[in-house]
Amino acid sequence: MITTSTEELERPGEWLRAVLEGRQYRWLLEDSGSLTVAAYRLARARCRIQPMPMPLPTLAELCVAVRRIAEGCTLAAPPVALMVDECERLGLLVIAPVRAPSHAPSHAQHAA
């Protein structure tokens, strides 16, 4: 489970501005307990303040947030697969890109 503050949930724009303008990435990382959870919180807040608010971040938004926090804390960003696994393990829903269905090999007709 992730920790959240009332401000983060009720006023995500103000919370996000305080984190970003104050460059409080280290605080967010420590408060969250992991880089993935910190990135999830940041991405979720950004999603909630968009003109068409969404309650869940996309995988791309999560990746942008993790890079921002990692750079702010001089850390290496984890591989995407590890972030996805951690989100799944913690029950943090992320909108993943839709993959094209794989097609069965085509069978060419040969004239006899």
Tally of CB atoms within 10 A around 106: 6
Query: Taking CA 79 as the corner, what is the angle to CA 71 and CA 38, rounded to the nearest 5 degrees?
Result: 50
Residue 106: pLDDT band with limits 50, 70, 90: low
Average pLDDT, the chain: 88
Q: Is the pLDDT of residue 109 over 70?
A: no
pTM of the entire predicted model: 0.83
Least confidently predicted of 13-22, 73-82, 103-112: 103-112
Give pLDDT, residue 9.
Answer: 86
Give pLDDT, residue 4.
Answer: 67
- What are the structural domain ranges in the chain? 6-90
Give pLDDT, residue 1.
Answer: 44
Q: Please answer whether residues 27 and 74 qualify as being in contact, where contact means their C-beta atoms are separated by less than 8 angstroms.
A: no
Give pLDDT, residue 104.
Answer: 57
Mean pLDDT in residue range 50-79: 95
Q: Can you tell me the distance from the alpha carbon of 104 to that of 84, in angstroms, rounded to the nearest whole number?
A: 28
Q: Please answer whether residues 32 and 3 qualify as being in contact, where contact means their C-beta atoms are separated by less than 8 angstroms.
A: yes
